[in-house]
């Protein structure tokens, strides 16, 4: 009998977590629902995302919450495993948002390793400017659902 891998298993194949590496991480809401058009849900997400207990094995350098997805720059610590960190983040924020009987996030996530400080700052600018490019605000300073360690 031949075993078929799920799409999320295929995505994880070959994925390696490297200590000190910075990753651009993206994951989307279930069915790309615009859950975070609701400011109350976005505020609950933001508080849960910044929970220090989530970031014991990594540092959250920057993030932005969009109506239907999240982008973050995550730097792994010595024992950090990216998939485990993302799983905890999604679980913690799902619990905080607490939508009865409905999943908050799609399974899996996308990540890209970032090489070098210049590339990291370009990736941070890209993710933090997402609300501006999407036409959600005229000035990025008006988007409350974002964070960067260097702000």
pLDDT at 9: 45
pLDDT at 15: 60
pLDDT at 2: 38
pLDDT at 3: 33
Our measurement of the distance from residue 20's CA atom to the centroid of its chain's CA atoms, rounded to an integer in Å, reads 18
pLDDT at 134: 96
- Domain coordinates of the chain in residue numbers? 7-148
Average pLDDT of each block of 10 consecutive residues along the chain (151 residues)?
Answer: 40 62 96 95 96 94 97 92 95 89 92 92 94 95 93 73
pLDDT at 90: 96
Q: At what angle do helices 39-49 and 82-97 cross, to 10 degrees?
A: 140
Question: What fold does the segment set 7-148 form as a domain?
Answer: Alpha-Beta Plaits (3.30.70)
- Spatial neighbors of 124 by CB under 8 A, at least 6 apart, are 61, 62, 73, 148, 150
């Amino acid at each position: 009998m031949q075993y078929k891998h799920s799409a999320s298993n295929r995505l994880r194949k070959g994925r390696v977590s490297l200590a000190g590496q910075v990753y651009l991480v993206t994951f989307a809401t279930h069915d790309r629902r615009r859950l975070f058009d609701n400011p109350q849900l976005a505020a609950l997400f933001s508080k849960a995302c910044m929970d220090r207990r989530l970031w014991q094995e990594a540092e959250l350098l920057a993030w932005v919450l969009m109506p239907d997805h999240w982008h973050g720059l995550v730097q792994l610590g010595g024992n950090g495993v990216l998939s485990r960190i993302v799983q905890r983040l999604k679980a913690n924020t799902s619990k905080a948002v607490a939508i009865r009987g409905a999943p908050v996030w799609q399974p899996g996530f996308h990540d890209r390793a970032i090489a070098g400080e210049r590339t990291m700052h370009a990736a941070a600018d890209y993710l933090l400017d997402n609300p501006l490019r999407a036409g959600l605000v005229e000035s990025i300073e008006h988007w409350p659902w974002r964070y960067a360690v260097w702000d």
